[in-house]
């Protein structure tokens, strides 16, 4: 059953994936095994995206299927804790309200076992600081699609440093116009050119 669910989400089959998840839950399958199956399938989606076998529409749909499936499973977890690889704080930089890329990365991080705290869009530097401090995050991910977000990214990195958190976590940035020059300007540790790269960076920093 778990292998079938992993294969279905890997093929981006929305209705069939959700149908199998419901069926498995009704049959008493361990909810945590279903979460792992969904993560395995999403890992395949990420590999296919990186290999250019899938493109952005497939990635977005797969992320939505994952969220819908998790929503079905969560009530059956009965307070059981899913082991996580650590806490990640993610958000779109202040002044920018684009969130498609950020949402994909947040979902894929959850698929890969991270405890993700998504602050949404137009997030001021102090909100990143407060949440990173509260959750003892090992990684802060800042997204931005507009060039005006670069200053906010830099301000966020500076604010984390002023709060004494800079040496306790890693900071990655991402978004269409982000490159090495923007990375150098902002003072972050790395940038992800696409969601798959962001997941690799998270693994290298928190693995």
Band (pLDDT 50/70/90 cuts) for residue 82 is low
Tens-digit pLDDT profile for residues 12-48: 999 999 999 999 999 999 887 898 899 899 989 988 9
Domain ranges of the chain: 2-76, 87-206
How far apart (Å, rounded) are the C-alpha atoms in residues 103 and 100?
5
The CATH number given to 87-206 is: 3.40.50.280
Instruction: Tell the burial category of 80 from Cβ atoms under 10 Å away from its Cβ (0-12, 13-18, 19+).
Output: exposed
Tens-digit pLDDT profile for residues 191-205: 998 887 898 999 999
For a pLDDT cut of 70, what percent of the chain falls above it? 97
Q: Which range has highest mean pLDDT (58-67, 75-84, 184-193)?
A: 184-193
Mean pLDDT (the chain) is 92
Q: Is 153 helix (H, G, I), strand (E, B) or coil?
A: helix
Is the domain 2-76 a CATH 1.10.1240.10 member? yes
What is the pTM assigned to this prediction? Answer: 0.74
pLDDT of residue 85 exceeding 80, the answer is yes
pLDDT of residue 84: 80
Angle at 59 between CA 71 and CA 101, to 5 degrees: 90
Sign of CA dihedral 72, 73, 76, 81: negative
């Amino acid at each position: 059953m778990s292998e079938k669910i992993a294969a279905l989400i890997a093929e981006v089959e929305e209705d069939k994936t959700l149908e199998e998840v419901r069926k498995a839950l009704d049959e008493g399958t361990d909810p945590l095994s279903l979460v792992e199956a969904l993560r395995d399938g999403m890992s395949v989606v990420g590999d296919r995206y990186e290999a250019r076998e899938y493109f952005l529409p497939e990635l977005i749909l797969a992320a939505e299927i994952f969220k819908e499936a998790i929503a079905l499973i969560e009530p059956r977890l009965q307070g059981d804790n899913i082991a996580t690889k650590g806490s990640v704080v993610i958000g779109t930089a202040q002044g920018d309200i684009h969130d498609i890329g950020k949402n994909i990365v947040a979902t894929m991080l959850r698929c890969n076992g991270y405890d993700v705290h998504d602050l949404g869009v137009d997030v001021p530097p102090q909100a990143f600081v407060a949440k990173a401090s509260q959750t003892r995050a090992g990684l802060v991910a800042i997204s931005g699609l507009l060039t005006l977000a670069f200053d906010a990214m830099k301000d966020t990195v500076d604010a984390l440093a002023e709060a004494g958190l800079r040496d306790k976590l890693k900071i990655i940035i991402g978004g269409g116009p982000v490159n090495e020059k923007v990375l150098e300007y902002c003072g972050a540790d790395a940038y992800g050119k696409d969601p798959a790269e962001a997941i690799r960076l998270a693994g290298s920093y928190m693995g």
